[in-house]
A and B are shown apart, each in its own frame.
Chain A
């Protein structure tokens, strides 16, 4: 198939890419742009490791075509920290001990970010529901949930 010229805005920066129309956002991020913080696994929107923000909403980049992102804002994990200053969610994940192998963590943090933007003072049950599309096999989710509660400004025990 013939390639299309495409302008993508990723983490506030404009990128010109030449891609076939069937290529996914995930593939273009990782292969063309070297943004490998967005992870690859099931390619079927089942595991959530490729979660990015598209106009502020959490999406699985493995089932979004790059061409669908024209004129829209994409945020990946590389776009969260400001210089050396970590995003509060990134800080909270470290502080809560929520990181083990870390492969699910970029997707988790972005799913949490989109959720907290909508719901800044959630209960633990709401957080668990919001993260149910993101599989983690290392942590049992507990410290991840604590991290999100912490980032939302609540002492971990307050909203159980």
Chain B
């Protein structure tokens, strides 16, 4: 293998200069001349009948150009796996925050004033506030017409359950019979918000040909194109979605959020319209993480072998299915954990309630399921008198073994992750002082598949344009993909210019989701280079009068070493421009299907983890037994990244993912009371600040994936999975008190300690 020049190095991200100088343009910054400002009127009631909505007074507010309600838009239901959503509530209001009307005005102030002038009469109905109520016998239906909705046929739907995904392996009852001990526990987690600092924003403008262009900070421009086509009732080719900069996504910017309002208001007014969310809208009407209830029943032998597990996880998916059916599916794989368990019965439920449509947040289902699984692993280890690390090592999956649905696991770096994280945290001394303890947690995750296309074009100056449909949401994934391109093409990273995320001009991409961007776009770049090389070598062979076989591509040039001849890429591009339409290559990639045993799954939209990653987190913390406050001293992550494409930005993913995970572990919760959010502002919704987050020590383990570019695996989501479990285990180690619900607030810990003393 030749030495690698570009991949594997911590090169600065390509978009950094624009971001530190303030010249990078984000969707929230985007403006057009004469643009109007759109705002959305949202229901204050979590559930009710919409009796009347009168916008006539609002329409007369100075500066208002249009007010839209359900009567003004096509009566279509849209959505991913279940088409149950509507643009505005029509007859029934299903959550506090549901859109009732939208306004466009010449200033944001006029738009806000108009919202206050709309008369919306809602006759309240008792809300279904959680999963327990939704599943109770005789519970009212959130969607009385659920059976009539278009939905993926494989889903198992029934009333308030919009999917039940299941994995069955072996015979779980027999497993329990063989077990020496059976452990049953219940865990509860709350909703948390992605917390991106840039609100969701979109600007829409229609042209005379009936095409709408939407500049949006979406993670998935092609999905937004398709959803807008449904809502606006126009062909997808009439919808152009362009993504300027994105100020963070974390899964919260996957689905249509403001784009449809901007497009509808712009169509009606004939003007460009901008819609941007407020913090209150973010915390009441966005795609935050699902609250969850997890029940685990696990059977083990006396010497600590896992034999059987029955696990159920219920997600509150809110008023619409959204990501819920898929996330419930992924949850079942997470409930198995990265362990060998011969008998499994695992179920994930997505359940309708009268809350916002919870969605996908970085490793969706991961933290909730892992908190339960890894907390219980420690409880079991303690009960059996085993060291939690040894207990895990005894049961983890290893190279060539099967995952829960029968997929064959390869590149399994889990043991190395566990051992390295444990060594780094000083596991041999688990309770280094009074009220101080260490915790460990491990897990696995997928690298989402889907397809990616790129065009790679050589410019007449020898620089190279990478044209991709993927959006850069902050992870530096497109810098990683460009590193792959530069490496393979024999040019420098500085020679590459990235053009991205425009549904009109860039090739298709499945989008910035599921830790897939560097992985999939990187592989598409490799395919494009193969095509480009053929073109370049053929052209150079003709120009130089030598056989193609005698040519090599390196250092931005084609060389014939034996003949001592050489032509630069720039020269070849110019020749091609004059004679052959320029040098351009198309590269595509789709992750190969991961074989699994279809007999083991039901209602499942995500039956196997592609190129799975493995990880272990270890934390050392103290608990103030008077206040219950947790102070983290050290935090270590060992993550199997396959191949570290750019170590600095992988560390950045780990550090940021842990910080976000510690927020869910210790302080963050969207607090609901009877279907209404009590803390819809950034003071009362407590995200960690610079003084709250510890230093994170990253250990990059590299067991190369067979599929990823240079062996890379997805790295973005995993660091967000284990923090709640690691912290819960360390708190238990420090105090002897086991907290089974998130967040582990100081108050909760203090009360639990007092409870124990009684």
Contact = CB atoms under 8 A, between A and B. Distances in A.
A97 B690 contact: no
Interface string A29-49: 011000111111111101101
Contact of B12 (A35, A95, A104, A144): A95
A42 B682 CA distance: 8
Contact of B682 (A39, A46, A93): A46
A142 interface: yes
Most buried by A among B10, B19, B655, B695: B19
Interface string B657-669: 1111000000000
A160 B697 CA distance: 14
Nearest to B650: A97
Contact of B197 (A78, A80, A104): A104
Contacts of B194: 137
A5 interface: no
Contacts of A106: 20, 22
Given A100-B652, A132-B690, A37 B197 contact: no
Interface in A22-80: 30-31, 35-44, 46-47, 49, 76-78, 80
A37 B29 CA distance: 8
A100 B477 CA distance: 10
Interface in A113-160: 125, 127-129, 131-145, 160
A10 interface: no
Interface in B129-153: none
Interface stretch (B242-250, B291-299, B582-590, B608-616): B242-250
A65 to B, nearest CB: 14
Contacts of B12: 94-95, 97
Contact of A142 (B22, B198, B695): B695
Contact of B16 (A31, A99, A138): A99
A86 interface: yes
Central interface residue in A93, A135, A136, A144, by most chain B CB within 10 Å: A136
B20 A86 contact: yes
With a 10 A CB-CB cut-off, give which of A36, A47, A138, A143 has the most chain B CB atoms: A138
A102 B690 contact: no
A20 to B, nearest CB: 9
A8 interface: no
A86 B12 CA distance: 15
A80 B20 CA distance: 10
A157 to B, nearest CB: 11
Nearest to B199: A41
A103 B233 CA distance: 34
Interface stretch (B116-124, B341-349, B468-476, B743-751): B468-476
B198 A41 contact: yes
Interface size class of B (residues with CB under 8 A): 35 or more
Contacts of A139: 652, 655-656, 659
B22 A36 contact: yes
Contacts, number: 180
A142 B687 contact: no
A45 to B, nearest CB: 9
Contacts of B15: 102
A101 B689 contact: no
A18 interface: no
B660 A137 contact: yes
Interface string B27-69: 0110100000000000000000000000000000000000000
Interface in B669-702: 681-683, 687, 689-691, 693, 695-696
B257 to A, nearest CB: 15
Contacts of A105: 19-20
Nearest to B22: A37
B682 A100 contact: no
Interface in B452-507: 473-476
Most chain A C-beta atoms within 10 Å of own C-beta, residue among B15, B196, B689: B689
B690 A145 contact: yes
B526 interface: no
Contacts of B249: 101
Contacts of B20: 77, 86, 90, 93-94, 99, 102, 105-106, 109
A36 B29 contact: yes
Contact of A44 (B197, B651, B682): B682
Contact of B10 (A97, A109, A131): A97
B279 interface: yes
A97 B194 CA distance: 22
A152 to B, nearest CB: 15
B21 A137 contact: no
Nearest to A76: B22
Contacts of B26: 36, 39, 103
A81 interface: yes
A144 B689 CA distance: 12
A97 B649 contact: yes
A43 B278 contact: yes
Interface in B518-550: none
Contact of A141 (B21, B199, B659): B659
Given A39-B197, A131-B690, A135-B687, A103 B16 contact: no
B285 to A, nearest CB: 16
Contacts of B195: 135, 137
A118 B21 CA distance: 22
- Which of the listed residues A101, A105, A127 has the most CB atoms from chain B within 10 Å of its own CB? A101
A101 B197 contact: yes
Nearest to A35: B22
Contact of B655 (A94, A101, A142, A160): A142
Given A76-B22, A134-B690, A103 B652 contact: no
Nearest to A37: B22
A102 B24 contact: yes
Give the interface centre of A47, A133, A142, A160 by most chain B CB atoms within 10 Å: A142
A137 B197 contact: yes
B21 A103 contact: no
Given A99-B13, A137-B194, A141-B659, A39 B690 contact: no
B23 interface: yes
A137 B16 contact: no
Contacts of A131: 689-690
B247 A101 contact: yes
B25 interface: yes
Contacts of A133: 689
B197 A132 contact: no
A15 B16 CA distance: 29
B682 to A, nearest CB: 4
Contacts of A39: 26, 28-29, 197-198, 247
Most B C-beta atoms less than 10 A away, residue of A35, A38, A76, A128: A128
18 contacts: A30-B29, A36-B22, A39-B28, A40-B199, A40-B276, A43-B278, A46-B683, A76-B22, A86-B21, A97-B648, A100-B476, A101-B245, A102-B18, A137-B659, A139-B652, A139-B659, A140-B655, A141-B655
Give the 8 A-B CB pairs with smallest separation, nearest first.
A37-B22, A101-B474, A103-B247, A102-B19, A140-B659, A77-B22, A140-B655, A36-B29
Interface of A: 30-31, 35-44, 46-47, 49, 76-78, 80-81, 86, 90, 93-95, 97, 99-106, 109, 125, 127-129, 131-145, 160
